[in-house]
Amino acid sequence: MQWAVIILVVTAVSASIGLWRNRFGSPLQSIVRVEAQSVYSLKVGDDTLFIACHCRQAQFISDTITKRDTLLVDWHYSSCRDSIVFQQEIKGLCVDEFSRVMVPFSSVSDTLQGDALRIMLEKALKDKSAEAERLQRQSGELAYYARTHTAIDDGYNQIMQYSECHHRRLETVLRTKTLLEHAVKNTAIALKDVQFKVNGRPMEMEYQQGVYVYLRPVSPNDIPPVADADFLWSAMCPWNQPTIPVCGVDGFGNRFHILASDTLYKGTLLSDDGSFYSGTFNDSLQRHGTGFLIDEDLVKYGRWVNGRFHGETMLYTPQRIYGIDISRYQHEAHNSVTQYIRVKDKRGRWIKKARRTKRVNIDWNRLRITRLGGKAQQHAQGKIDYNVSFVFIKCTQGTTIRSNYYASDLASARRVGIPVAPYHFFSTNRKGEDQAKWFIRHARLSQATMPPMLDVEPSEAEIRKMGGDAVLHRELLTWLRKVEKSANRRPILYVSQAFIDRHLRNAPPELLAYDVWIARYSEYRPYVKLLFWQLSPYGRVEGIYGDVDINVFNGTKEDFHKWLNQ
């Protein structure tokens, strides 16, 4: 038994003229676009499963439609009220002045049945199950994006529109999967229809000779226009010329071409791995310019350069949740007057010693962020006059250093009602357990109103010296677990974007389970899942002398208060 076969013939136009002739002996007039569809149907309860076979190995693709409505269907398909069809584009030949078209096409079986059908359905079920799992993972990433973004973010409306389409698509795939689970138990599926269109106009089969089918217009009024051969050749074979239109599909199941606009090409692309990109491309058809990518890792919207994602450009508004982190440097002014006094060293020799004569107090009642600093300053909307909604205070470092200002700053933050927590600066030449004990001893964790934070900023040389990533991961986990047990809250891990890329991506799952706080001082948002990010070390806060680190919470006000109350 032969299945419905559609063979895409990729033949040069010049070669086609010499090789292909019709029964009238007329020369080739034009290459035309032929859409062929062979549709089989199977009733499963109240639904109907429609199947389109398009190769000798009986590869199978399906979707569902109910009696009550038309579903958004697979991206390679179109839908109507009573069927779902596979539309395969073939290059046919217009062979005479009556617009008859010759196209390669095999005979079609009236039914699909037997072991081959069962194998086909089982393979389809396996493929649909894998697709459903992939779409569910992508749905999780879209949900994370929606939770951490609002309408003020660039690209938000575009991604939310895509998300609605994605949700409907997932529902369709899950329903198709359910129908396939029932269909594998059936013995035969009947042929519903075979249809042809040429350049968008309906055609009917006149006769078949070998593997070639000759088509004619349904009526004189349906004679299709003759297509331009050179244009159609380019449109059908985009891989031959990287600067011509590229065929694909958009998030709503519509076919498209990537169209030229100045030096960039704009469109959408569905990759073999299931990832979806919408935006602009360069001449080599790499993601370039502005666009968004949906895959199983993270929704990435923003700037692309030659296929590489640079980041999401941020817009800073009063609606975001801002905070600061401080240490002794906010109390010891960099431009304070320094006296040099003569003192004796241990050997009794007279030496000069610098002594700061100016210490600065923080006016906790006046705290307001008045400047973001750095590149973030360029992306602030309106006047910068933001609340300080949280503060992290340095408490300890290693196993010997502690801040003399921590206790008073902790008490002052609590007095004015600002959520507060301590942090520890991690040392690579001390055991994680010993550092945790030192931190717990001085942090007064019962008075903190937020989870503590571990500041991890080792150099590459320090990581190598301590034994590499495996040792670093082990010591970090030791600190985190011990402090978590004492604080009864999961600590936060403060790292840089570079540290994530080089050292944390291959960390054990136990370490990756901790929320992260990213330091990234560019104009882009960090492209990892995070809780906070530090956008600038050069901010200004009324009530604090000198520069201050400015941070932002990754979410809405409601999310922030929900996190505080966990």
User: What residues contact residue 273 under an 8 Å CB cut-off, 6+ apart?
Assistant: 295
Q: Which two tokens mark 117? A: 């059908």
Position 258 scores a pLDDT of 45
Query: Are 273 and 328 within one domain?
Result: no
Q: Is residue 157 part of a domain?
A: no
Position 3 scores a pLDDT of 32
Say what the alpha-carbon torsion angle 428, 431, 433, 436 is, to the nearest 10 degrees: -40
Quickly tell me which residue has 């990435």 as its tokens: 300
Contact 443, 479 (CB under 8 A): no
- Alpha-carbon torsion (288, 291, 292, 293), positive or negative: negative
Query: Are 365 and 279 within one domain?
Result: no
Burial bucket for residue 375 (CB in 10 Å: 0-12, 13-18, 19+): middle
Q: Is residue 179 part of a domain?
A: yes
Quickly tell me which residue has 């009864």 as its tokens: 488
Of 236, 270, 293, the position where a domain reaches its end is: 236
Q: Is residue 125 part of a domain?
A: yes
Q: Is residue 539 part of a domain?
A: yes
Query: Are 556 and 449 within one domain?
Result: yes
d(CA 441, CA 266): 58
Strand partners, 42: 49
Quickly tell me which residue has 């079609």 as its tokens: 108
Query: Are 297 and 345 within one domain?
Result: no
Query: Are 345 and 432 within one domain?
Result: yes
Contact 267, 258 (CB under 8 A): yes
Residue 134 parent element (H or E):
helix 114-148
Of 195, 212, 236, the position where a domain reaches its end is: 236
Quickly tell me which residue has 């600590």 as its tokens: 491
Query: Are 338 and 251 within one domain?
Result: no
Contact 454, 398 (CB under 8 A): no
Q: Is residue 229 part of a domain?
A: yes
d(CA 96, CA 22): 8
Contact 197, 203 (CB under 8 A): yes
Q: Is residue 162 part of a domain?
A: no
Query: Are 526 and 417 within one domain?
Result: yes
pLDDT in tens, the chain (566 residues): 333 322 222 232 333 333 333 333 333 456 777 777 666 677 777 777 766 544 222 222 333 333 222 222 222 333 332 333 334 566 677 776 667 888 877 655 666 666 666 777 788 788 889 989 999 999 999 999 998 888 888 889 989 988 988 898 888 888 888 878 877 776 566 666 677 777 777 888 888 887 788 888 877 665 544 443 333 333 333 333 333 333 444 444 433 444 444 556 777 777 777 888 888 888 777 889 999 999 878 899 999 999 899 888 888 989 899 999 999 989 886 554 455 566 667 676 777 666 555 678 899 999 999 999 888 888 888 889 999 999 999 999 999 999 999 999 999 999 999 999 999 999 999 999 999 999 999 999 999 999 999 999 999 999 999 999 999 999 999 999 999 999 999 999 999 988 998 998 889 999 999 999 999 888 888 888 899 999 999 999 999 988 999 999 998 899 999 999 88
Give the domain CATH number at 529. 3.20.20.80
Domain count, the chain: 3
Quickly tell me which residue has 């990581």 as its tokens: 463
Range(s) of the domain holding residue 344: 322-564
Quickly tell me which residue has 């604090």 as its tokens: 544
d(CA 198, CA 94): 10
Q: Is residue 145 part of a domain?
A: no
- Alpha-carbon torsion (180, 184, 189, 195), positive or negative: positive
Q: Rounded to the nearest 5°, which phi and psi values hold at 422?
A: -90, 160
Query: Are 256 and 365 within one domain?
Result: no
Position 538 scores a pLDDT of 92
Of 212, 236, 260, the position where a domain reaches its end is: 236
H-type helices in 221-365, by residue range? 229-236
Position 414 scores a pLDDT of 97
Query: Are 515 and 377 within one domain?
Result: yes
Q: Is residue 502 part of a domain?
A: yes
Query: Are 268 and 355 within one domain?
Result: no
Nearest to 428 by CA among 466, 455, 457: 466
Percent helix, percent strand, percent coil in the chain, to nearest 5: 30, 35, 35
Query: Are 66 and 103 within one domain?
Result: yes
Query: Are 558 and 471 within one domain?
Result: yes
Position 89 scores a pLDDT of 61
Instruction: Give me the DSSP letters along 405-420.
Output: THHHHHHHHHHTT--E
Position 177 scores a pLDDT of 85
pTM of the entire structure?
Answer: 0.67
